[in-house]
Amino acid sequence: MEITYSKQGISINQRKYALEILFDTGFLGSKPTSTPMDSHLKLNKSEGKLFSDPTSYKRLIGKLLYLTHTRPHLSYSVHHLSQFLDSPQEPHLRVAHRILRYLKGTPGQGLFFPASSSLHLKVFADSNWANCPNTRRSVTSYCVFVGDSLISWKSKKQQTISRSSAKVEYRSMASVVCELT
């Protein structure tokens, strides 16, 4: 992790690590993309051809998981791909490659903690109802700010299956309240 101090605040990123991942996977010269994952993409365990080398897929997802420490916007995409570690398919690898192309365009992004910021809490939460095609479970995502500084984030499948989007939203809010307390 690279930590930079200035009068404006503290910046934390993993630029060198991101570039090492791109070099190791051969994506250093790839064409960048603007988003890490298509928002309408639905991956499941039984689509596509089984990937020939699951060890390299597991290693790549592990590296990307470590990168989410300073890149919270990658959490959803990487955690979504980590569900398929037991039997990765070709479509899963294509999505992982898209994340690598996104990293190519944004290797130095990270967290910034401004020096002058107010001490009020801001919380943003969202959920998507029955997003997983295999289990029909919903995903809760949230981020917590103190002033303008991001201090906590999470993207996780809910434990129960909900019959309505309203219940999913209430469970999402309950998860955020637990985090705050």
Give how far Cα 114 sits from Cα of 70, 136, 148, Å. Answer: 15, 40, 7
The pLDDT value given to residue 66? 94
- Burial degree of 110 (CB within 10 A; 0-12, 13-18, 19+): buried
Q: How do the pLDDT tens digits run along the chain, 181 residues long?
A: 999 999 999 999 999 999 999 999 999 999 999 998 887 777 777 777 887 788 999 999 999 999 999 998 898 889 888 888 888 888 888 999 999 999 999 998 999 999 887 889 898 887 776 666 666 677 788 888 988 888 888 877 777 776 777 777 777 788 888 888 8
The pLDDT value given to residue 48? 79
Q: Is the pTM of this model over 0.85?
A: no
Residue 72 DSSP label:
G
- Cα 121 to Cα 10: distance, rounded to the nearest angstrom: 19
